[in-house]
Chain A
Amino acid sequence: MTQPVPQESQPPAPHPPLTPGDTQAERTRLSWRRTTLSATLSVLLIGRLAVHDNVSPLGALAIALALICWLALMWLTHRRITAMSHRVPATIGRTLPAVALTIVAFAVIGIILVVVGGVVV
């Protein structure tokens, strides 16, 4: 693999320019995509758990909340990928804490479904 030799005539700026063949932004973008895939699978499993026998009000609420979290995650990912395609480095703001919170929300929804389901059955 030929590594492009960075020809830096001037001292590196605070944000060094994207060197040709630099795959950092692309790898990060693909990493975001993999994450959304994993999250989608989790949402499907939450849906499966929520409609195990029939759809209870709690199950419907769980599905609705999980879908909202999933949409939020898709929006965050889209925003991040768009920002990265326009400008590297793109400021990240509160995107990552928000992503972590959606995952925590998935976990809470799943745990509530199991706990309530276990108590009812």
Chain B
Amino acid sequence: MQPHRTKAPPVDADGARDNGAVLTTVRRWFDPQEVRDVGSTPDYRFSLANERTFLAWIRTGLALLGGGLAVAGFLPPLHIPHLREALAIVLMALGGLIALRAIDHWARCERAMRLGQPLPASRFPALLAIAVGLGAVLLLVAIVLPGT
């Protein structure tokens, strides 16, 4: 589901050792007790910063979601059939994916802070930036080319 996790450097050795790593990860999203039982409570400022980072990602997801909704609701049909709908769906799916990734990253950061481990490295921001950039270029080409 999220390829960045399998490719990411194995900072979370505990998760990598697990056979059902994905299931364990998902369980950690919803089971605060499991996250809270390991290690020691970090300075609350770090936890609040982690929470704000999560919320910032949620807003990023909401922005893409809102962009997709606006494309579907306000954009006139484009030259290429169904391009408008495809763009809207991709943007909204990306928004939902970012929300899921936000909770995953939050849980992993919280766990790392409790265990005194380095914060999890992630390629997701880079991948997202490349995807959005490429999408913008492709879209520009798709819109400009038929007009010329």
Inside 8 A of B103's CB, which chain A residues have their CB?
96-97, 99-100
The answer, among A91, A100, A106, A111, for a CB contact under 8 Å with B102, is A100
B56 on interface, CB distance cutoff 8 Å? yes
Chain A residues within 8 Å of chain B by Cβ, number: 44
Q: Is the interface of B mostly helix, strand, loop or mixed?
A: helix
Interface size on B, residues (CB 8 A): 43
Instruction: Check B106 against A103 for contact (C-beta < 8 Å).
Output: no
Are B61 and A103 in contact, with the CB atoms below 8 A?
yes
Partner of A108, one of B29, B41, B61, B96: B96
Q: Are B73 and A89 in contact (CB under 8 A)?
A: no
Interface residues of B in 34-53 (CB under 8 A from A): 36, 40-41, 43-45, 47-49, 51-52
Interface residues of chain A: helix, strand, loop or mixed (majority): helix
Residues 57-89 of chain A, each 1 if its beta carbon lies under 8 Å from chain B, else 0: 000000000000000000000000000000011
Q: Which of A38, A49, A117 contacts B59 (CB 8 A)?
A: A38
What 10 A-B pairs have minimum CB-CB distances, sorted nearest first?
A107-B96, A89-B44, A45-B69, A103-B99, A38-B62, A100-B103, A100-B99, A49-B73, A31-B55, A104-B96
